[in-house]
């Protein structure tokens, strides 16, 4: 890992000057130049040079490095939401690629600094995640590598049980997670476990660390389309209006269309995002009118779900071939919205205990079933933390279903019929 040389630093200064002239408000950006192995390693760690020890990062790395070795994927850039913003440049990138990456990074940096969903995240995440790693290594020395890793395995299976709605409450408060004075919100299950599960001291500490990290990464999952769309909108605008030299146009065009490409419709978040921003820019009045104001407002207030809901209308769906008929377009829009709700994760909330001591959960029905056998296993894991009965009410084949876990055993109880099950094959 090295600092960029003088030519890259000059390039960075040029790109950022243009970006700021164009209206982006950039926090400080620091670049590191790395080779592909190191870049894949950092990507496996979620963008950070150091994390706590866990096989899951090794698994990610295995996938990335194989994809790289067979030419299936290549990571050009990696940006980390921290202060200063840290971004990585691949040492093998050609100069025009570095320019493109830097323009793209400007978009991300502006987004991290201004989108409301990131308002709560801490700025010192490099240090924070490194110290989390140190803590888990120390604890592994004290209580054993396997004990700590097994516990992390358990908690990682539950780390989608966090409350996106409570993100705002973490502002003005140390840490990324919402504060736990008194009670956790009904969807903040990790918070509830932290307050009430019978945990050993070291388990409590590990859970607090993992909860903090879950809340740090949560908004990135909620704003993928917007974040990539915003960065792509700006790299495109900056490159084609100011930064490109004549000789670089063809290479740039190839890179850009490679990133926007994908044969199966505009679900590519880069493509969908950039088109939504472009549409909004044009409808808002374009260059002279209020186009810029409209997109800057959108980047501040929306997440993917609200952004798509507000701006992906029938005209857009037709223009971008989301379906051949209006009906198909509407259906595609609904599917997309469903997949973006709660970042694609099921909404699970804590409800009043059915019995004293039981941890009772309810899955808020949104039209899709949980994978029931896996949900059962998840409950068993939850039961191991809670050390008392746990239950989940969900829906299967139109019926209410209660999954109850007592002493590691799962029982299923079907309730009343809530709707006719869909005819098999009717949706094909």
Partner 1 sequence: MSADTGRIARDLRRFDEIVRGRIKQDLKRYVTGSEMIGRRGDRLVSIPVPRIELPRFRFGQNGKGQGQGQSSSSGEGKQGDGPAVGSAGSESGHHLLEVELSLEEMAAILGEELELPNIQPRGRARVEVASRRYDSISPEGPRSLRHLRRTMKSSLKRQISEGTWDPNDPRLVPAPEDWRYRSFRDVTRPDHAAMILYMMDVSGSMGREQKEIVRLVSFWIDTWLRSQYRSLETRYMVHDAAAKHVDQDTFYRLRESGGTKISSAYELADELLSKEFPAPEWNLYLFHFSDGDNWSGRDTEKCLELLRDKLLPNANMFCYGQVKSAYGSGQFKKDLDAALSTEDHVISCDILDREGILPAIKTFLGKGL
Residues that bind partner 1 (CB under 8 A): 37-38, 41, 44-45, 50, 53-59, 61-63, 65-67, 70-72, 146, 149-150, 153, 156-161, 263-265, 267, 321-324, 328, 331-332, 335-336, 338-339, 344-346, 348, 363, 368-375, 377-378, 380-381, 392, 396-397
Tokens of residue 343, six digits: 């970042």
Tokens of residue 244, six digits: 């490109």
DSSP state of 321: T
Q: How far is the CB of 139 from partner 1 (least distance, A)?
A: 16
> 161 or 238: whose CB is closer to partner 1?
161
> 110 or 213: whose CB is closer to partner 1?
213
Nearest to 220 by CA among 167, 184, 161: 167
Q: How far is the CB of 420 from partner 1 (least distance, A)?
A: 17
Nearest to 16 by CA among 300, 243, 295, 227: 243
Beta strands in 36-186 (DSSP E): 77-80, 85-90
Q: Tell whether the torsion through CA atoms of 43, 270, 273 and 77 is positive or negative.
A: positive
> 113 or 130: whose CB is closer to partner 1?
130
> 98 or 232: whose CB is closer to partner 1?
232
> 241 or 371: whose CB is closer to partner 1?
371
Q: How far is the CB of 312 from partner 1 (least distance, A)?
A: 12
What is the distance between the alpha carbons of residues 307 and 302, in angstroms, rounded to a whole number? 5
**How distant is the alpha carbon of residue 21 from its chain centre?**
30
* Helical spans, DSSP H, in 157-262: 189-196, 201-222, 224-238, 249-260
Three-state secondary-structure class, residue 315: helix
Q: In degrees rounded to 5, what are phi and psi of residue 4?
A: -65, 150
Tokens of residue 395, six digits: 């829906």
> 47 or 346: whose CB is closer to partner 1?
346
Q: How far is the CB of 394 from partner 1 (least distance, A)?
A: 9
Q: How far is the CB of 81 from partner 1 (least distance, A)?
A: 18
Q: How far is the CB of 276 from partner 1 (least distance, A)?
A: 15
> 185 or 362: whose CB is closer to partner 1?
362
Q: How far is the CB of 423 from partner 1 (least distance, A)?
A: 14
Q: How far is the CB of 73 from partner 1 (least distance, A)?
A: 9
C-beta neighbour count of 129 within 10 angstroms: 24
Three-state secondary-structure class, residue 143: helix
Tokens of residue 48, six digits: 């950070």
C-beta neighbour count of 367 within 10 angstroms: 9
DSSP state of 421: P
Tokens of residue 223, six digits: 């704003």
> 311 or 384: whose CB is closer to partner 1?
384
């Amino acid at each position: 890992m090295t600092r960029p040389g003088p030519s890259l630093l000059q390039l960075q200064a040029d790109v950022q000057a243009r970006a700021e002239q164009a209206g982006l408000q950039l926090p400080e950006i620091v670049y590191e130049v790395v080779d592909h192995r190191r870049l894949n390693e950092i990507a496996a760690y979620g963008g950070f040079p150091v994390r706590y020890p866990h096989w899951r990062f090794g698994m990610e790395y295995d996938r990335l490095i194989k994809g790289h070795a067979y030419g299936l994927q290549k990571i050009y850039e990696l940006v980390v939401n921290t202060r200063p913003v840290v971004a990585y440049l691949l040492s093998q990138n050609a100069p025009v690629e570095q320019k493109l990456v830097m323009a793209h990074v400007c978009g991300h940096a502006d987004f991290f600094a201004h989108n409301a969903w990131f308002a709560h995240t801490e700025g010192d995440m490099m240090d924070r995640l490194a110290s989390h790693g140190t803590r888990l290594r120390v604890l592994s020395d004290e209580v054993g590598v396997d004990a700590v890793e097994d516990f992390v395995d358990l908690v990682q299976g539950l780390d989608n049980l966090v409350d996106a709605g409570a993100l705002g409450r973490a502002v003005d408060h140390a840490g990324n997670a919402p504060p736990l004075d008194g009670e956790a919100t009904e969807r903040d299950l990790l918070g509830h476990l932290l307050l009430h599960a019978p945990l050993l001291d070291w388990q409590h500490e590990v859970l607090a660390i993992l909860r903090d990290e879950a809340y740090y990464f949560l908004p990135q999952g909620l704003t993928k389309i917007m974040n990539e769309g915003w960065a792509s909108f700006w790299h495109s605008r900056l490159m084609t209006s100011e930064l490109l030299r004549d000789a670089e146009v063809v290479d740039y065009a190839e890179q850009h269309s490679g990133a926007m490409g994908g044969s199966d419709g505009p679900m590519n978040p880069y493509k969908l995002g950039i088109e939504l921003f472009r549409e909004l820019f044009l409808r808002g009045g374009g260059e002279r009118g209020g186009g810029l104001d409209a997109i800057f407002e959108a980047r501040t207030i929306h997440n993917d779900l609200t952004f798509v809901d507000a701006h992906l209308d029938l005209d857009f769906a037709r223009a971008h071939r989301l379906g051949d008929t209006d009906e198909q377009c509407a259906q595609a829009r609904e599917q997309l919205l469903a997949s973006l709700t709660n970042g694609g994760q099921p909404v699970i909330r804590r409800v009043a205990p059915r019995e004293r001591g039981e941890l009772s959960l309810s899955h808020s029905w949104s039209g899709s079933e949980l994978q029931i056998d896996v949900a059962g296993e998840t409950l068993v894991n939850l039961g191991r933390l809670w050390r008392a009965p746990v239950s989940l009410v969900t829906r299967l084949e139109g019926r209410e279903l209660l999954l109850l876990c007592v002493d590691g055993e799962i029982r299923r109880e079907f309730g009343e019929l809530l709707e006719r099950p869909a005819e098999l094959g009717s949706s094909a």
